[in-house]
A and B are shown apart, each in its own frame.
Chain A
């Protein structure tokens, strides 16, 4: 049993003949919340997709709790406890809120009381439980997409730009929920973000990406300083 939950070694991948990730090395400890930042198009979403397995690795290695999972398909990785919340949320539009949540049970069997807990975190989902997910607002879809993976009690959650196109009050609610889950049950989170308030509210640490590589890491002390974070966000 190691303290490291996820580790990548010289991870390389891309689309068809277009290389994007050019050797990414990250290491995330259990119960950490780590942010990934960088300009548009540097490969942040590509990194998330390769971690969950929607994009196969071309080279390099990926370890989950010390075991190589590089060759595993996305659904096998998910069942090992990785919850993926994509950029753009990707709720199942023609299924109800409740059916979307039930689909999340494939990640892992729902623990007793988990639905009540999700509705406590995101009351709007209970109110809209029988509504089609496609008719929800962006913020509500984001909450649904997050709750959908939490239903399966993952060890590690990957969030890709959770604040994108969402009103500030919901952004705060999501940040508070993730921090609470991290404190109470030791949930590990890796999230891509551009919103400085969300980064500072959630992240313990932060990787800075450029041109398919991790170029710097921001320590907790550096995250304390708003101006430092802003400078790195606008690199």
Chain B
């Protein structure tokens, strides 16, 4: 029994880390994988989702709806930014990095000036349960479930829907997609919106679990980048397995050596992976498959 609860505790930790990595990274991965855009403002879409969610909850909206509202608002803001800024920089990857970095700083500082240094939190919903010597939060289990559901949902979106076909055609061969009558500009706009919306979803989901400060996005951004670098451009062959592997590594190091060791472990893994597989897990898998 002690062994089982030990095992459950480890799986819970790894699952928690996996969920965080998946939710933090999937929006970034989609925007990078589908559009080749490295979005340094990803963390601020997470911030946007978190603030909207917390405010809506505070005003009495049920949490699930508040989370969705946060995702929606972030998605819409993302589409607007795509139209105003990103769209003009598609063929200039370096400029995109600078521009999104600028947007990130403006958003962080703007939030600080307008809303102050912190927003009151709402507290973690649901209770906790104990198993053996350990106590576990039920909300964390909900987060793990949501991360898995998000992956399944994205898989269905990209393989079973009209949008999925148009988006994949556009990323594989933009000129041919256009010549077939696909409005690739709209596809890019929606894809960026989807990436921003997923960031907002992550923000909304984690809002009840953390202190809401204007710089909260950067905590997500680092781990999201590590996951995308390790995973490569494909979300299903890359991001998801990378998050699983990194989740286990992080949980193991954290439980044996503490939080800091977990963080360092993630970065070291990323550095090793870049050396061995420059295009990440999915680049390597796709090459093996030919």
In this complex, the interface size class of chain B, counting residues with CB under 8 Å from chain A, is 10 to 19
Additional A-B contacts beyond A78-B179, A92-B172, A106-B180 (18; CB < 8 A):
A52-B179, A53-B179, A54-B175, A75-B178, A75-B180, A75-B183, A75-B184, A78-B180, A92-B176, A93-B172, A95-B168, A103-B165, A103-B177, A103-B182, A104-B180, A106-B181, A106-B182, A149-B180
Give B residues with C-beta under 8 Å from A. 162, 165-166, 168-169, 172-173, 175-184
Would B181 and A94 count as touching, CB distance under 8 A? no
**A94→B172 contact, CB < 8 A:** yes
Indicate if the CB atoms of A90 and B181 lie closer than 8 Å: no
The answer, yes or no, to whether A102 is at the interface (CB within 8 Å) is: yes
Interchain residue pairs A-B with the least CB separation, the first 5: A78-B181, A106-B181, A74-B178, A107-B181, A84-B179
Distance A86 CA – B176 CA, assembled complex (angstroms): 8
A95 contacts across to B, CB distance below 8 A: 165, 168-169, 172
Which chain B residues lie closer than 8 Å to A74 at the CB level?
A: 175, 178-179
Residues of B contacting A: mostly: helix
Contact B181 A92, beta carbon cutoff 8 Å: no
B85 to chain A, nearest CB (A): 21
CB-CB under 8 A from A104, the residues of chain B are: 180
- Chain A: residues with Cβ within 8 Å of the partner, total of 25
A79–B168 CB distance below 8 A: no
Whether A14 is near chain B, meaning CB under 8 Å from some CB there, is: no
- Interface residue? A219 (CB, 8 A): no
Q: Which residues of B sit under 8 angstroms from A148, Cβ to Cβ?
A: 180
Tell me whether B181 and A108 are in contact (CB under 8 A). yes
Q: For the complex, is A99 an interface residue (Cβ under 8 Å from B)?
A: yes
0 or 1 for each of A57-89: is its CB under 8 Å from B? (1 = yes): 000000000000000011100110000101000
Pair B166/A103 contact, Cβ less than 8 Å:
yes
A152 near B: Cβ within 8 Å? Answer: yes
Contact A54 B172 (CB under 8 A): no
Contacts of A75 in B (CB 8 A): 178-184
| Residue contact B165 to A102, C-beta cutoff 8 Å | yes
B169: chain A residues within 8 A (beta carbon) = 92, 95, 103
Given A75-B182, A75-B184, A108-B181, answer yes or no on A99-B168 (Cβ-Cβ < 8 Å).
yes
